[in-house]
Amino acid sequence: MQIVHTIDELRAQLKAFRRPAFVPTMGNLHEGHIALVKQARPLGDVTVSSIFVNRLQFAPHEDFDSYPRTLGADAERLEAAGCDVVFAPREKDLYPEAQTFKVHPATDLSDILEGHFRPGFFIGVSTVVMKLFSCVFAGMPAGVAAFGKKDYQQVMVVRRMVQQFALPIEILAGETQRAGDGLALSSRNSYLAPAEREEAVHLSQALRALGEAARSASDLPALEAQAMHALARRGWKPDYLTVRRRADLMPPRHGQLAAEPLVVLGAAKLGNTRLIDNLEI
């Protein structure tokens, strides 16, 4: 496995290939990332993963500076998973000058839920993903890129970006990997103190309970509010717990609850750690 830092080095490594399978990450890898690498690998002729903590998707008060940087351990895990090339650019490699050209996703999808609570987040994500795609896929006839469904809205934003820019890239959405108690694996779980780690499972439990109650609900907003209050009583600070249509993340139409494919999404802070999760129902 090769570890490269610059765009030129990356392109030199990929020159002989025609269909990269790409897994972009911010590092501090867990089984969710490794599962994506293993799923993507047979779909391409070379497997590439990037490790880059992208400043553009963090607000000033967020955890950009403290986000764990664990390149050595990440590289070992990627090599064991069969990755061929790790692209780990320094900031000056990917953003040699301020990135003033940015990708602005459609606001109907990107200003709701995560985008509402993290303004500008999806501009930062779309911009870096487009740039990483250009580093990995420029000149390639086709490719595959894999993203985890834990970041449900991110997958939808990336899919739409790829479709609207007619990029010859297939997007693979990997299932969320969970710990034994049901907590969705996330790089940010490492921030949780032991007592918080025990409590953390209540987010996925709340989503499951909301999903089960939703199908027969006559007043969905009231049910969502109850679910948020229940988490708040346990000491969480919920941003949202909500049932949405899988197609566009809009609230389901009245009377359509039983008919439409739905997803329950949630985001809440436990201590200083903000966790997100979702369940398709």
Q: Is 153 in the site for ligand PAF (CB under 6 A)?
A: no
26 vs 263, beta carbon nearer ligand PAF: 26
88 vs 223, beta carbon nearer ligand PAF: 88
Residue 129 CB, nearest approach to ligand PAF (Å): 6
30 vs 41, beta carbon nearer ligand PAF: 30
Nearest to 156 by CA among 179, 201, 186, 122: 122
Binding residues for ligand PAF restricted to 56-115, rule: CB under 6 A: 57
151 vs 199, beta carbon nearer ligand PAF: 151
Residue 57 CB, nearest approach to ligand PAF (Å): 6
User: Tokens standing for 96?
Assistant: 């040699």
Binding residues for ligand PAF restricted to 16-35, rule: CB under 6 A: 24-26
15 residue type, one letter? K
Q: Is 54 in the site for ligand PAF (CB under 6 A)?
A: yes
Nearest to 273 by CA among 244, 235, 233: 235
155 vs 203, beta carbon nearer ligand PAF: 155
Residue 30 is a catalytic residue:
no
56 vs 264, beta carbon nearer ligand PAF: 56
Nearest to 20 by CA among 103, 113, 133, 157: 133
Residue 217 CB, nearest approach to ligand PAF (Å): 31
Residue 59 CB, nearest approach to ligand PAF (Å): 14
Q: Do you know the residue count of the chain?
A: 281
Residue 218 CB, nearest approach to ligand PAF (Å): 37
Residue 123 CB, nearest approach to ligand PAF (Å): 12
Residue that is written with structure tokens 């990107």 in the block = 110
Of 5, 30, 33, 254, the active-site residue reads 33
Q: Is 186 in the site for ligand PAF (CB under 6 A)?
A: no
d(CA 67, CA 267): 18
Residue 142 burial (CB count, 10 A) = 13
Binding residues for ligand PAF restricted to 218-257, rule: CB under 6 A: none
Q: How many residues bind ligand PAF (CB under 6 A)?
A: 10
Binding residues for ligand PAF restricted to 113-152, rule: CB under 6 A: 125, 128-129, 151
* Main-chain phi, psi angles of 81, to 5 degrees: -85, -5
User: Tokens standing for 48?
Assistant: 């590439």
Q: Which residues bind ligand PAF (CB under 6 A)?
A: 24-26, 54, 57, 125, 128-129, 151, 154
Give catalytic residue positions: 33
